[in-house]
Homo-oligomer: A and B are copies of this chain.
């Protein structure tokens, strides 16, 4: 069974602490557990990771390419100006789903326009941790490729 990559970007390791009025009180461990449990329910395997490094994110996307794994990604602060991550997303042949915990459409000028989302298959934002569940379920129902 091929795992789905669930990749999280910078500062998400501080979830629950970081601007809780925007991001809520749940921690990344809570989300990892939620994903594990959802994956179990759906019969999926999940590879859940977080990094603060652009390069690591790029390389995990390459790894997903090589393993032909679908990707659910919350690039967080890398969404807005990281051309390397955008370019890595474009390499994928599998679906790339982007998740944002907050509704970025309604945020400030630095957090409003996701550049990486331009290359996504689908984008979910504003649903908090539940957005990850939505993405997993979307993949479980076999949405065709990127």
Contact = CB atoms under 8 A, between A and B. Distances in A.
Contacts of A83: 76-81, 110-111
Nearest to A12: B87
A18 interface: yes
Contacts of A106: 117-120
One complex includes copies of this chain to the number of: 12
A126 B116 CA distance: 14
B81 A77 contact: no
Contacts of A84: 9-11, 52, 76-78
Interface in A40-57: 51-56
Interface of A: 9-11, 13-14, 17-19, 51-56, 58-59, 62, 65, 76-88, 90-91, 103, 105-106, 110-111, 113-115, 117-128, 130-131, 134, 137-138, 141, 143
Given A54-B55, A105-B114, 18 more contacts: A10-B54, A10-B58, A11-B62, A14-B88, A17-B65, A18-B87, A53-B55, A76-B84, A77-B83, A77-B84, A77-B87, A78-B83, A83-B111, A122-B126, A122-B131, A130-B138, A130-B141, A134-B137
